[in-house]
Amino acid sequence: MSPFLVPLCLFSLVQHASGLEEGYSGIAGVKTSYKVLQEGEGSDVVEKGDTVTVHATGIVRQTDKKFWSTKDAGQKPFTYTAGGGVITGWDKGAMGMRIKEIRSLHIPADEGYGKSGFPAWGIPPNGELNFEIEVLSIKGKGGKSKAQDL
């Protein structure tokens, strides 16, 4: 038996048992998972208290329908405060991102819009979400630009 076969099998079992889809990583303390689609640039990362500007697209997992995108006509990038300015899954899933990094987030209902959903946007009760987030700029807690539009 190959010495690599046992670790590979164990990795597959752990990934399956954790419920993560292939290529997705877990986040300590939450059920949201993420996959890096494009690596970021620089050393500055999203941290609690930062003002972060992103492009974002949200899709309801159950219906595969887009409910919001900053890239749609008439929309503009979205700015929020990391550490509580958005739903839990997005907030935790974006921590540690760098400028120009793009992540796909899988957000369970209880870390999204929960039991009530967000009917005005087409998000049903207990709706799970997929978000694609691209960091455009990060400003530190004092408003000082960490990095912007590299």
Nearest 5°: phi and psi at 135?
Answer: -80, 125
Least confident residue range of 89-93, 96-100, 119-123, 141-145: 141-145
- pLDDT, residue 146, reads 61
Query: Tokens 């099998």 identify what position?
Result: 9
Question: CB neighbours of 17 closer than 8 A, spacing ≥ 6?
Answer: none
Cβ atoms of residues 109 and 132 within 8 Å: no
The pTM assigned to this predicted structure is 0.82
Question: CB neighbours of 118 closer than 8 A, spacing ≥ 6?
Answer: 67, 127
Query: From CA 44, how far away is CA 40, in angstroms rounded?
Result: 10
